Amino acid sequence: MFIVENYGLAIILCVITMLCWGSWANTTKLTSKTWRFELFYWDYGFGILITALLLAFTLGSNGSEGRGFLADINQAENNNMLSAFIGGVIFNLANILLVAAIAIAGMSVTFPVAIGIALILGVIVNYISNPQGNPVLIFGGVALIAVAIILNARAYQKLQTGSSKGVSKKGLILSVVSGCLMGLFYKYVAVSMVTNFKVPETGKLTPYTALVIFAIGIVISSFLFNPIQMKRPFIGTPVSFSDYFRGSIKDHFIGILGGLIWCIGMSLSIIASGKAGPAISYGLGQGATVVAALWGIYIWKEFDKAPKGTKPLLNIMLLLYIAGLAMIIISK
């Protein structure tokens, strides 16, 4: 199987993860205006599973090092498979709650709360589980990125000029719960995996097998979570399964594409974790929030009509973001 041999390549893969995680949501802007996120989410989950299987039977099955996907899944212990599966379920619930929180409270509330909690909690949990790298540099970098996320949220808040709407209590609660769950899912996947990718321990999963089980957890739990949000959406009217089957080929394809982009990011992150360590891999990946902001600034032109004082916030945000990434990268 394909294995990352050096730290430099691991960091490059983590940066690609960050780009993928910060970019997949753009696919929701490419669907039909009537195509609801609840319907998009089915194809998004299927896209993650399809991509995980393709990677498992290609990169995860070729080469002389490591253990091929089929051989690996046949020897895997149930507790490790369950751990990766739980990681998928936790991520799925966190992701659904995150989108609901954005719909209710807006990005200016949701992102500093949910992603800030996820970033800090995720790095702490993964570092305790597998301590690799200088903790001062890692957590210092995380702190700078967290401040950058808050400034990003403040910039979005400035766009909402003239609005007297207060902070939604429901949106705030959903943001906190989503952030806590998002900060925990990665650990369950990392714990299920081998520590030595070249000479895998018996009973543990290779990254490619862990990714497949993780994706299965997402798809299966969607049959529990998604029908609930379809019947009782946080925003808008209920949608049905018949609405899903009336969707265009383009809408379904774009949903699968969104899952593919996210899954590529996740796969590169866990592949890189062998050299970089889970805390660094996860911390760099969660910088995706600012990548998403860059899409909004330069591609979707969300800040072209922003009030005075917004541009300095964005500039400081970018500087803190770059400095935080640099600290995390040099921590090992």
Could you write out the three-class secondary structure of the chain? CCCCCCHHHHHHHHHHHHHHHCCHHHHHHCCCCCCCHHHHHHHHHHHHHHHHHHHHHCCCCCCCCCCCHHHHHHHCCHHHHHHHHHHHHHHHHHHHHHHHHHHHHCHHHHHHHHHHHHHHHHHHHHHHHCCCCCHHHHHHHHHHHHHHHHHHHHHHHHHCCCCCCCCCHHHHHHHHHHHHHHCCHHHHHHHHECCCCCCCCCCCECHHHHHHHHHHHHHHHHHHHHHHHHHCCCCCCCCCHHHHHCCCHHHHHHHHHHHHHHHHHHHHHHHHHHHHCHHHHHHHHCCHHHHHHHHHHHHCCCCCCCCCCHHHHHHHHHHHHHHHHHHHHCCC
pLDDT at residue 311 greater than cutoff 60: yes
pLDDT value for 166: 56
pLDDT at residue 163 greater than cutoff 70: no
As a whole number, mean pLDDT of residues 48-62 equals 97
8 Å CB contact between 197 and 10: no
pLDDT value for 234: 84
As a whole number, mean pLDDT of residues 19-42 equals 92
Q: What is the value of pTM for the model shown? A: 0.90
Please, which residues have CB within 8 angstroms of residue 118's CB and are 6 or more apart in sequence?
94, 178, 179, 180, 182, 183, 286
pLDDT at residue 190 greater than cutoff 60: yes
3-state secondary structure of 51: helix
pLDDT value for 288: 84
pLDDT value for 179: 92
pLDDT at residue 38 greater than cutoff 80: yes
Instruction: Please tell me the least confidently modeled range out of 139-148, 218-227, 292-301.
Output: 292-301
Tell me the percentage of the chain whose pLDDT exceeds 70.
97
When the pLDDT of each residue in the chain is averaged and rounded to a whole number, the result is 91
pLDDT value for 152: 82
Highest mean pLDDT among 114-128, 235-249, 290-304, 305-319: 235-249
pLDDT value for 296: 80
pLDDT at residue 300 greater than cutoff 60: yes
pLDDT value for 314: 87
pLDDT at residue 105 greater than cutoff 90: no
Locus of tokens 């957890």? 217
As a whole number, mean pLDDT of residues 79-108 equals 90
pLDDT value for 81: 98
pLDDT at residue 164 greater than cutoff 60: no
- Rounded-to-integer distance, Cα 236 and Cα 238, Å: 7
